[in-house]
Structure 1
C-alpha cells in the first residue's frame, strides 16, 4: 500500500516539476516574442494556431487513449496500425487545410500564405513515433515529461532565433513547424517497436469503435478551447486578439498541468485497476489528489488576485489590458482542473460517451455566452463565457460519476470553498493597502 502511494505521488511530483520547467520555457518564449513582435502579429498566430489545432481535434481518433486503454496496446501490429492511421490522418488534414485556407483567410483578414504554411503542421505532427503513447501506457511519467521538456526547450531556441532574424509573422509560424519536426524526429530516439506501414482490419475496427466517442469529445473540446479565439478573431481587431491570446496562455497553465496529471497518471491508473478493487492505489490517488488540489487552489487564487501585477511584471505597457482578462479567465481554470480529473476517471472506466456529452454542453454554454455576453457587455461579457462553460462541464461530469467509486465530490467542494476564501482574502488585503482590485482596468477596456 505504501509503495502504491509513493508511486502515484512520485509520478505526480515529477509531472509538476517538469511542467513547471516547461511553463517557464513557454513564458520565456512569450515574453521574448512580445518584445520582438507587435500584438497584431501575435493575433495572426492565434488564428493560425486555432485553425491548425481545430483541424487536428476535429478528426481526433484518440490514438494515445487507444494505446493506453487497449489490452493489445503492446502488440506490434496494433501499434503499427495506430501509426499508419495517424499518418494517413495527418495527410488528410493537411490537404483539407490547404483547400480551406483561402476562405478562412478572407473571413479573418489574414494572409492566405500563413494558413497554407500552417497546413504542414498536422502532417509533421503525425510522423511522430508511437513510443510517446507507450510511455503513457506504462506510466513512464518521468521519461515522457523530460522528452516533452526537451522538445519545448528546442522550440524556445528555434522561435527566438527566427524572431531575431525575421521580425515578422513568419518567425512564429516557421518556429511552430520546425518545433513539430524536431519533436517528431526525436520521438524515434525513445524505445520503440519496428515501425512499418500496416493496417490490421481487426485492430482498425477496435480503434474506430473506441474512437467514435473520443472524436466527439475532441470536437467539443476544440470548440470549447478555441471558440473564444475564433469568435474574437472575427469581431475584434488582431491587436485585441493578440493581447487576449497572452492572457489565455497564462490562464491555461493550471488546466494544462491538470491535463498532464489527469491523462498521464489518473487515467492510466484507473484504467489499469478498474477490474480489481486496489485499495492501495485508490488511497494513493486520493492522497495525491488532495495535495495537488491544494497546490492548484493556492496558486490560482494568488495569481488571480494579483493578475494585473502579473501582466505588468511579464509584459510591457501594450499588454496591460491582459490583466483583467487574466482575472476572469483564471476563474474558469479552477473548474477546468476539477473537470480534467473527472474526465480522466471516466475514460479510465471506459466511459468516453459521458466525456463527449460534458464537452458538448460546455461548447453550447460557451457559444451562447460568447454571443450574448459580447452583445450585452462587450469584451468582458464574452470572456465571462469561459468560466460559465467550465462550470457547466464540471457539473455534467460530476453527475455522470455517480455510482462510481471514489468520486471525490466532498473533496472538490471543500477545496472550492477554500479557493474562494483565499481569493477574497487576497483582494481584501489589496484594497486595505490601497492597491485597488485586479479587475480595475475592465471598465476602461477598449471597444472590440
Structure 2
C-alpha cells in the first residue's frame, strides 16, 4: 500500500491574524493606565516624603521654574512626535532621521534660550535663586531632545508596553534621586536633581533598550516641509496651551507669596493626577485609534468616537467626584498642618479639572482630522477668559475666586472643541452635560453628608465617597460590558452590530 505524503511549505501555512484595532487599543489602555497610576503613586509618595524634608517655599520656587521651562518647551513645540504617529511617512527612516535632527536642534535652542532669559524672569519675581535653578533644570530639555524616535514609533503602532516601561523606570530614577538628595542636603536642589535624572534615564533607555530604527543626523527637505506643515498649528496651539495652563501660576506668583504658592502647588499636583492619567490614554491610545479609523473606508463616525471617549468621560467623572467630596480629608490625612489649605483648593480645582478632561477627550479626534487650528482656538478662548477671571476672581474672592475663574475658563475651551467636532458630527454635548449633572448630584450628596454628621473624619469620608460613587455604578457597568466585547471594530474600522 502506498502512502501519499503531502508537504506544506511555510508560504502555504496560514498567517497568524493581526491583532484587531480594538484589542490593540485595549492593550494600550491597560499599559498606559497601569503605568500612569504607578508613576503617579511614586510621584505622590515622593511628594509626601519631600514635604517632610523640605519647606513650602521650595515647592513655590519649583512651581515658578516649572512655569518657565514649560513655557520654553511649548513655545518651541513643533508636534514632532504627533507627526510621526499621524503621518503616512511615520515609518520612513529618512523622515525619522529628519525629525530626530530637528528634535536635537530644538533641545539645544531651548537650553540656550533658558540661559538668556533667566535673569529678566528672576528679576520679575524678585527671586535671585531662580538665576541658578532655571539653567540647571532647563538642561534636562537639552537631554530630552536627544531621545530616540523609537518612543513615538511604538505609540504609532499602539505597542505601548515597552514605552510605558521606559516611563516607569525613568520616574523611579527621579524619585530615588530626589529623595536621596533631599535626605542629605535638604535643599530645593533635590527637585532639580530628580528632573535631570528622569530625562537622562528616559533618553538613554530610548536608545539602548528599545528596538527599532537607529536614528542619525540627516536632513530631507520634503520631510522637513511635512513636519512644518503639520507642526505650524501645533506650534500656535502649544503657545496658547502654555498661556492657558500657566496664566494662573504666572499671575498668582505676583499676587501671593512663595509659601502660599507652594501650598497651591501641592493641591495642583493632586488635581492633575486624573487629568494626566486620562490625557495619557487620549494621546497614546485614542489619538492613534482615531487616526486609523479616519483612514478606514467609511472614515471616523460618531459612534466610533463616542465608544472610545465614553470610558474616559465616565472614569474622569468618578475621579472628580471623589476629589470634590474627599479632597479636603485627603490633604489633612496625608500632610502636616502647614499644607491644610491645599484641601479646599483641591476641591475647587476638581471642578475645573472635569471640564478640562472633557475638552481633552475631544482633542485626539481634532488632531486625527488634521484640524489643529481648532486646538489653538480652544486654548486661546481659555487664555482670554483667564486674563479676566484671575484678577477679577482674586479681587472679589481672593484665591477662591481665582479657582472659580479657572473652572469657567475650562468651560469656554470645551465649547470651542465641541463646536469644532460638531461640524463633523463627532461631538457629544448632551452626553457630556448629563455626566456633569451626575457629578453635581453625586458630589453634592457626598459633600452634604461629609459636613452633616459628626463621625470620625476618615469613616465619614469613606461613607460619603462610597455613596457618591453609587450614582456612577450603572455607567461603569456599561463600560465594562463594552470592554468585554472584543470584536467591536472589524478590519475596516467599522463597528460590528
Instruction: Report the TM-score range of the alignment, normalised by the length of the smaller protein.
Output: over 0.9
Helix, strand or coil: the match of 2:295?
coil
Does 2:159 correspond to 1:140? yes
TM-superposed deviation, 1:141: 2.5
Does the 8 A contact of 1:18 with 1:146 survive in 2?
A: yes
**Alpha-carbon separation, structure 2, partners of 1:416 and 1:4:** 30
- TM-score normalised to structure 2 length: 0.84
Q: Give CA deviations for 1:106-142 in whole Å, capped at 9, x if unaligned.
A: 1122211112222312211111111111111111123
Q: Residues 98, 279 of structure 1: CA spacing in aligned structure 2 closer, same or farther, 3 A cutoff?
A: closer
Helix, strand or coil: the match of 2:423?
coil
**Alpha-carbon separation, structure 2, partners of 1:340 and 1:355:** 10
Aligned to 1:150: 169
Which consecutive residues of structure 1, in runs of 5 or more, have no partner in the other structure?
439-448
Aligned to 2:488: none
**Alpha-carbon separation, structure 1, partners of 2:214 and 2:377:** 37
Does the 8 A contact of 1:301 with 1:422 survive in 2?
A: yes
Matches within 5 A, 1:78-89: 78-89=95-106
Aligned to 1:413: 433
Q: Give CA deviations for 1:32-88 in whole Å, capped at 9, x if unaligned.
A: 111100001111111111111110111100011110111101111111111111111
Query: 1:128 pairs with 143, 147, 159, which one?
Result: 147
**Alpha-carbon separation, structure 2, partners of 1:265 and 1:226:** 26
Q: Residues 119, 290 of structure 1: CA spacing in aligned structure 2 closer, same or farther, 3 A cutoff?
A: closer
- TM-score normalised to structure 1 length: 0.93
**Alpha-carbon separation, structure 2, partners of 1:3 and 1:278:** 17
TM-superposed deviation, 1:11: 2.6
Query: 1:31 pairs with 48, 57, 60, which one?
Result: 48
Aligned to 1:215: 235
Does the 8 A contact of 2:324 with 2:346 survive in 1?
A: yes
Q: Give CA deviations for 1:312-354 in whole Å, capped at 9, x if unaligned.
A: 1221110000011101111111111111110111001111011
Structure scoring higher RCO (CA < 8 A, sep ≥ 6) equals 1
**Alpha-carbon separation, structure 2, partners of 1:26 and 1:259:** 17
TM-superposed deviation, 1:234: 1.9
Does the 8 A contact of 1:41 with 1:169 survive in 2?
A: yes
Where has structure 1 moved over 3 Å in runs of 4 or more? 2-7, 277-289, 434-438
Does 2:386 correspond to 1:366? yes
Q: How many residues align?
A: 438
Q: Give CA deviations for 1:359-394 in whole Å, capped at 9, x if unaligned.
A: 111111112211221122221112222211111110
**Alpha-carbon separation, structure 1, partners of 2:147 and 2:20:** 33
Matches within 5 A, 1:217-236: 217-236=237-256
222-231 or 75-84, which moves further after superposition? 222-231
TM-superposed deviation, 1:413: 2.2
Aligned to 1:442: none
Does the 8 A contact of 1:224 with 1:359 survive in 2?
A: yes
Which consecutive residues of structure 2, in runs of 5 or more, have no partner in the other structure?
1-18, 462-497
